[in-house]
Amino acid sequence: MSKSSDNQVASKADDQSSTTKITRHVDVAVIGAGTAGQNAFSQASKITKNIVIINDGFWTTTCATIGCMPSKLLIAAANRAHEAESSDQFGIHTEVRIDGKQVMARVQAERDHFANSVKKQVEGWPADKKISGRAYINKQGLIEVNDEIIKADKIIVATGSSPFVPDDWLNNLGTTLLTSDTIFELSDLPVSMAVIGAGAIGLELAQAMTRLGVAVTLFNNVNRVASLKDEAINQKAIECLSSDLTMKLATEVTEVGTLTTEDKKLQAFINYKDKEDNKSRWEGQYVLVATGRRNNIEQLGVGNLGVVLDDSNKPQDLDIATGQIGDLDVYIIGDANAHIPLLHVASDEGFSSGNAVCKDNDDAYVRAPAVPFSIVFCEPQITNVGMSLPEIKNSGLEYVIGEVSFDNQGRSRVMGVNCGLLHVYGCKKTHTILGASMVGPDAEYIGHIIANAITNDLSVKDLLNMPFYHPTILEGLRTALRDVQDKMSISRQPNDAQQDGL
């Protein structure tokens, strides 16, 4: 169907509109009120007042309520404790007492502050534009919610995602099971915990809990953390993180369950084996399952709009800028499309889809898809920017890898955070940066600089012409860039051979 043809969503509804009582006809319906949905609604509301937003559950965002902000609050407390406990190297000796109830109370209070800020924004929207309830798209392409039947000319789906837990784990672990949706509701810090999954969520929470005095064991089925695809960076990350985190990598969890202790307390257990088939058991208070999230779309009925999902529930024929599905007047955005489940991506997709639903698409302001960019807020931090090393190898592009170790980098050593490695992937043809991977101090800031360089098509020379103040951790980036320059046989400036940070 072409965009100039009759609207497919509307025409599906018209087929049987004579037998279905439509209670409302809108230009745009947004389903889901997380980051993506709220942005889409706000932008589309500037174009049309004939709009509705439907939401099942809390009217805040995953980030504010159960994601980015509460996890960073927990990490902030953990880092304070770690800095105090590791101050002996500076000649500062102190005794740290961690009040678990106070830690969790602050996490929850500040989390509620962020969530309430989002709620206030939503409360400012017209009441007749908001519907609380679970939406379903029927075979006529109409939206059923509560006692309403809504015909929408354009539909934006932003239903987010939920933690994935295998069914047998869900049943076997019972009340000892935690997910990223429930862990921040604990009133006190646990005594012990297993974390299954060493992706961003599992890694961050495992280390934070460890630094707060919880006995934590992190399990992962491969010898990898944070989904790192550069093996040298992965091995360095494992080395750095192993200093204060117990990890069981390349292990297979064969069984999970609960048992009752002698003092009649419920306890969790995990049976697992390593790659040599050696079998072991872990026992403790809770199991945090961090095996990824799945989009909330399968039960919505998007197939009745002509949307095709693959085996992973990812919509096919997706425009990654706007979330539009082919030439349908259907947009699937944020975590719901399972493209890149990160808040800044969801925000951009919401903004773009909200603009793209205007009648004259030529006037729409659609944000270009951002350079791939992720940060894991463990210590040391992990960041990946641009193309990954496997993607570059598969592309056939000629490349070089510039690197710098932070183990002896000047400011990093001064601060006592000198463990890390940065790889910058340079294109030999264009002298630009293709991507980068890093574990180390200040990775979030170095990642931003590299992302901006790729976005603005800056050359390695352009970056080296930027100021690097001494002594800073960011000087390590200059060392890696100079290494890229050397390997691409570009003329160097005088004194470039001097080591950064010393």
pLDDT tens column, 186-216: 999 999 999 999 999 999 999 999 999 999 9
SS3 334: helix
Partnered with residue 318 across adjacent β-strands are 325
Give the whole-angstrom CA distance, residue 185 versus residue 102: 13
Nearest partner of 431 among 465, 404, 405, 469, judged by Cα:
465
Quick check: do 8-57+133-162+294-363 and 373-487 share a fold? no
Nearest partner of 463 among 499, 431, 423, judged by Cα:
431
pLDDT at 1: 33
Partnered with residue 274 across adjacent β-strands are 251
By DSSP bridging, strand 215-219 and strand 246-248 are parallel
Task: Write the pLDDT tens digit of every residue in 46-81.
Answer: 889 999 999 998 899 989 899 999 999 999 999 999
The CATH architecture one would assign to domain 8-57+133-162+294-363 is: 3-Layer(bba) Sandwich (3.50)
pLDDT at 490: 52
pLDDT at 257: 98
Mark out the alpha helices in 136-290 (DSSP H runs).
167-173, 200-211, 231-241
Percent residues over pLDDT 70 in the chain: 92
Residue 474 φ then ψ, to 5°: -65, -20
pLDDT > 70? residue 19: no
Give the whole-angstrom CA distance, residue 24 versus residue 307: 23
Residue 206 φ then ψ, to 5°: -65, -45
pLDDT at 368: 80
pTM of the entire structure? 0.91
What string of DSSP letters covers 398-440? -EEEEEEESSS-HHHHHHT----EEEEEEETTT-BEEEEEEEE
Residue 142, classified by CB atoms within 10 Å of its CB into exposed (0-12), middle (13-18) or buried (19+), is: buried
Q: What angle do CA 297, 286, 180 make, to 5 degrees?
A: 30
The CATH architecture one would assign to domain 373-487 is: 2-Layer Sandwich (3.30)
The CATH architecture one would assign to domain 167-292 is: 3-Layer(bba) Sandwich (3.50)
pLDDT > 90? residue 500: no
Residue 352 φ then ψ, to 5°: -70, -40
Question: What residue ranges do the domains of the chain occupy?
Answer: 8-57+133-162+294-363, 167-292, 373-487
Give the whole-angstrom CA distance, residue 293 versus residue 312: 11
pLDDT > 60? residue 501: no
- Evaluate whether 480 touches 496 at the Cβ level (below 8 Å): no
pLDDT at 497: 41
Give the whole-angstrom CA distance, residue 350 versus residue 372: 17
Q: What angle do CA 321, 41, 366 make, to 5 degrees?
A: 25
Task: Write the pLDDT tens digit of every residue in 303-358.
Answer: 999 999 998 899 999 999 899 999 999 999 999 999 888 888 999 999 899 988 87
**Averaged pLDDT, 461-472:** 96
pLDDT at 367: 80
